[in-house]
Chains A and B, each alone.
Chain A
């Protein structure tokens, strides 16, 4: 039977995430964007929610089981606060959750306990490549077999926390298929390059990273010898991004709604004009639709069903919707939408990331 009612536990997670977003993310969002650094309070306070340890089984140091649904419920709320903060706080997922989903028993035992400590620890994944034709299914970064292990060569971009993490989960083409390898950041051949300077997500430390004939032991191939199901990992990543797109859109829509209700022009509140009210009606409708698509994708993941299509629909719809919503919000604020005293220009820059950037979040 269909149901659209989160569990009591999930409702508590939603509440906690909402409070964190309002209390810690929003007030610091502008400063962090200008400075180009995540605020340490985001990770300190955010880690207290224990979202990740609650997703890791006891035998690996956590106290629960992973639920994509719970993640997307939380991630929407967090991203309503700030997308940069959300991606920073959830960066450990980038290593922990693929290992949890697809790792060998040894890999789980080796990597998961590091994400169950009292303090936040960064995680890094390298999927994107700096070229127009970047295709996650046809990577230029290659892993070749060598001496019972692998050698990885290639250049990646937009790798979160590459400098701060001990490990990077590197996606590379192996025998023509995309696979993932756990590579220590200090391994010979790994060079962390410059901080990326993107139009948005400026609070999130993203780096370019290059791999020059970097030797990786066989045991570091995610999933062990048989590798991993990359389609599944990509679907999980897209579902995560789509949920955050819903959060960003909601932020922009809420703001524009309040603004147009208060601002008067020609003798009455702006929102009393149909062209504005109808725009808002369309935005809230699409936000709801996007959320349902995200939930469906997450539900498919949790049920172990094929989630590729559901995730594609969710991200296809949400990325477009978030960009449109942020754009409309800027439009509805007029000149104030364009200046950095107001948050909507930031949401527009951030919203453009969806549908362009891949692999920087996962559930």
Chain B
């Protein structure tokens, strides 16, 4: 039976996440944006989440008591924390992309190792390294090399844009999932995921990117130089290859979408409140042609938000039920990437010079929001995924 009612658990979690956003994130968001690399990790926030807050966010933790709809709960949390600030959301000490890769490709033993890591005393992060300087969308072209050598693997290469690498490798005893090829001529069939622990010799961060937004979150260039790892760090024992990377997208895309929609909602909430203060009311039921331009803009922002959100919720609903959702997940990402881009850009327009100024957060939200249409598959790549599926085309039919 079709229903648009959220479970009580999720509603409760949303309230909890909202209080964290208001009390522990919003007051610091501007600072962490302004001092991109001077700042430390927002330790207060991180420790709070790890020590106390974690009970509320527990569903994000592996091994936590699993609620009926873990992924649905997750997207509601990520939306709300990103409503507070998306950079802080990326700083959450939780399994994130590295954990996602292990869940999708790891053996039971490897999954347990992940779980243990998140039970410890100290906040822990993971990261996932696929992109390289010469290829992002075309990830099957990666050159980072994995060579079997006796009782281990040796990795060599350079990884770009690795989210949270600093937190995972330098600030905690976390780990990185590295996608590398065992045979550079063989394309996707030779690509495998490997686990590199913090402190492993041969891995180092070369550079932290200076970014348009998302500045509370570190994005690193990681160098692997004769990085030797034990055999058991080949994820899934080598059985799960590139398909594993693709499988992670079914949940990573709606997750990214939900995060972007948090930013977009922050913008909408703010703009509506300011307009309300100016005495502008939005007449939702009036025919479109009778609305003022501002009313139209606000209604369009809200409409687009809702459209993208419902696509995201639907994808999450499918993920929780194990229904294959490749197309639906891409749809949510396409729509959310577009929605957050347009909504945050429009928000500034509606507030005029003040919107453009750092006196308001809108300009930051616009800078932050743009990332959603870029990572986890760009808008175009997700259109390709959808188009191939509806047309019944292979990657060769539609490049």
List residues of chain B with CB within 8 A of the CB of A274: 380, 384, 387, 398-399
Measured between alpha carbons, how far is A299 from B308 in the docked complex, in Å?
A: 18
Q: For B339, give the chain A residue with the smallest CB separation.
A: A289
A265 beta carbon closer than 8 Å to chain B: no
B391 & A271 in contact (Cβ 8 Å cutoff): yes
- Give residues of chain A (234-266) contacting chain B, Cβ–Cβ below 8 Å: 234-235, 257, 261
State whether A317 and B284 are in contact (beta carbons under 8 Å apart), knowing that A274-B398, A281-B383, A281-B390 are contacts in the complex.
Answer: no
Task: Please encode chain A, from 11 to 31, with 1 for each CB lying within 8 Å of some chain B CB and 0 for all others.
Answer: 000000000000000000000
Of B98-106, B297-305, B343-351, the one with at least 4 CB within 8 A of chain A: B297-305
- Give residues of chain B (310-326) contacting chain A, Cβ–Cβ below 8 Å: 310-311, 313-314, 317
List residues of chain A with CB within 8 A of the CB of B307: 286, 289-290, 292-293, 313, 317
List residues of chain B with CB within 8 A of the CB of A317: 303-304, 306-307
List residues of chain A with CB within 8 A of the CB of B314: 4, 288, 292
A7 beta carbon closer than 8 Å to chain B: yes
A293 & B285 in contact (Cβ 8 Å cutoff): no
A3 & B1 in contact (Cβ 8 Å cutoff): yes
B317 & A2 in contact (Cβ 8 Å cutoff): yes
Q: For B388, give the chain A residue with the smallest CB separation.
A: A277
Measured between alpha carbons, how far is A303 from B1 in the docked complex, in Å?
A: 13
User: Which of A133, A137, A257, A288: most chain B Cβ within 10 A?
Assistant: A288
Q: For A313, give the chain B residue with the smallest CB separation.
A: B303
A136 & B287 in contact (Cβ 8 Å cutoff): yes
The range of chain B's interface size is 35 or more
Task: Please encode chain A, from 264 to 300, with 1 for each CB lying within 8 Å of some chain B CB and 0 for all others.
Answer: 0000000110100110111011101110110110011
Of B2-10, B31-39, B175-183, B265-273, the one with at least 4 CB within 8 A of chain A: B2-10
B232 beta carbon closer than 8 Å to chain A: no
B44 beta carbon closer than 8 Å to chain A: no
State how many angstroms separate the Cβ of A37 from the closest Cβ of chain B.
29
List residues of chain A with CB within 8 A of the CB of B306: 293, 296, 313, 317
In the complex, 8 of the A-B residue pairs with CB atoms within 8 angstroms, ordered by the A residue number, are A6-B1, A10-B2, A69-B2, A133-B290, A137-B285, A231-B285, A284-B331, A285-B334
- Residues of B that sit less than 8 Å from A by CB: 1-7, 68-69, 72, 284-288, 290, 299-300, 302-304, 306-308, 310-311, 313-314, 317, 328, 331, 334-335, 380, 383-384, 386-388, 390-391, 393, 397-399
> Given A134-B287, A292-B307, A293-B303, list of 8 further CB < 8 A pairs?
A2-B3, A2-B5, A3-B1, A272-B393, A278-B380, A280-B391, A281-B386, A296-B4
